Amino acid sequence: MSRAAVPDLPSRHPIGGQLPALYADDDFAQRFTAGLDTVLAPVFATLDNLPAYLDPRVTPTDFLAWLASWVGADDDPQWAVELRREAVVRAVELHRWRGTRRGLVEALHLALGVHAEVTDDGGAWWSNTAGADLPPEPPGEPLVRVWPDREAQVDVHRVREIVRAMCPVHTVCRVEVLPGPPSDEGR
């Protein structure tokens, strides 16, 4: 990432105009400070535009990967730039929902453009009575069903990677890739 290679970038704060009157008419001083202006202009331009660098919607593309690393967002260079920007924008929200049905469904939709459904999550158990019996074992592993939306094909390997990353560490999830939306039969 290089912001210094901007040809003929003028300085918004030329040093020569800020010198004392003694140097205002000095040709050498004006040429010397003009050289410094050329060096400092990209620095001033970057600082003047700092809010734009920190906004993933408008940040330069070469800065996007670095910005993604700040918020722990997935940044796949093979994704379209708009999808990469959206992943950075929604990173904090997805971290908040990590390990939940909603988080898994939204992460799959964002990254792969697929619809997903999570069933049999095991639930949660608690008791107000000290020494109560342990809850029964959950009936099975959570099932993640995925079907295409914007793509004709679903990358099963990528689905499994996202499910593995978003599910709680103690949970093993089964993954099914369907050709279309699941029917309500057999439910």
pLDDT digits (tens, 9 = 90+) for 82-104: 999 999 999 999 999 988 889 99
Residue 88: per-residue pLDDT: 94
Predicted local distance difference test score (pLDDT) of residue 29: 93
The CB-based long-range contact list for 13-18 (8 Å cut-off, 24+ gap) reads 13/40, 13/44, 15/40
For residue 154, give every residue at least 6 positions away whose Cβ sits within 8 Å of its Cβ, in sequence order, or none: 112, 114, 146, 147, 148, 177
Residue 185, pLDDT > 60, answer no
Rounded distance between C-alpha atoms, residue 57 and residue 59, angstroms: 6
CB 112 within 8 A of CB 151: yes
User: Cα–Cα distance between 111 and 108 in angstroms, integer?
Assistant: 5
Cα gap 90→105, rounded to integer Å: 14
Whether the pLDDT of residue 166 is over 90: the answer is: no
Mean pLDDT of 114-131: 81
pLDDT digits (tens, 9 = 90+) for 10-27: 888 899 999 999 898 899
